[in-house]
Amino acid sequence: MMNRIVLGVIAVIGFFTLTEALTCNSCQVGVLGKCFFYTKVDCTASQNNCFTAKAEFNVTGFLSLSTSGCTSDCNTTSGSILGAGYTVNKLCCASNLCNGASAVQLSMAGALSTALLASIWSSYML
């Protein structure tokens, strides 16, 4: 009888440990290392890492975009958008809120510009 109780307690603890979702900082788009729309998100079971990614465009050299959130893919990627080459470097970590982000205030024009960049970039990142 005592063995069943001990096994039951272990099973319940294991269930809650396995189903606890990783929480990450999420930023759809940031410019020059600053996040504009920052939130906290719970990752899905298949997304076992938080990440921060930086996309650098080969043509400009100085302009970079960043994003952060949950992922299962921590690989560096490259490609092109409208003929401009880019490289995306991802830094991954596996504990809650380990991909720190900072938020800044935007003007209306800045927010609209950022939203446009985010919609173009996210269509290529997915």
Per-residue model confidence as pLDDT tens digits over 68-89: 999 999 999 999 888 888 899 9
> Is the model's pTM score more than 0.85?
no
**Residue 113 is part of a domain; what is its CATH number?**
2.10.60.10
Bridge partners (DSSP) listed for residue 118 = none
Neighbours of 87 (CB within 10 A): 14
By residue range, what is the domain housing residue 94? 22-125
CA distances 64 to 69, 87, 105, Å, are 17, 10, 19
Residue 46 lies in a domain: yes
pLDDT, mean of residues 18-24: 79
Within a domain: residue 10?
no
Better-scored residue on pLDDT, 31 or 15: 31
Residue 57's pLDDT is 84
Domains held by the chain: number: 1
What would you measure as the largest C-alpha separation in the chain, in angstroms?
Answer: 71
CA angle 68, 71, 74 (to 5 degrees): 90
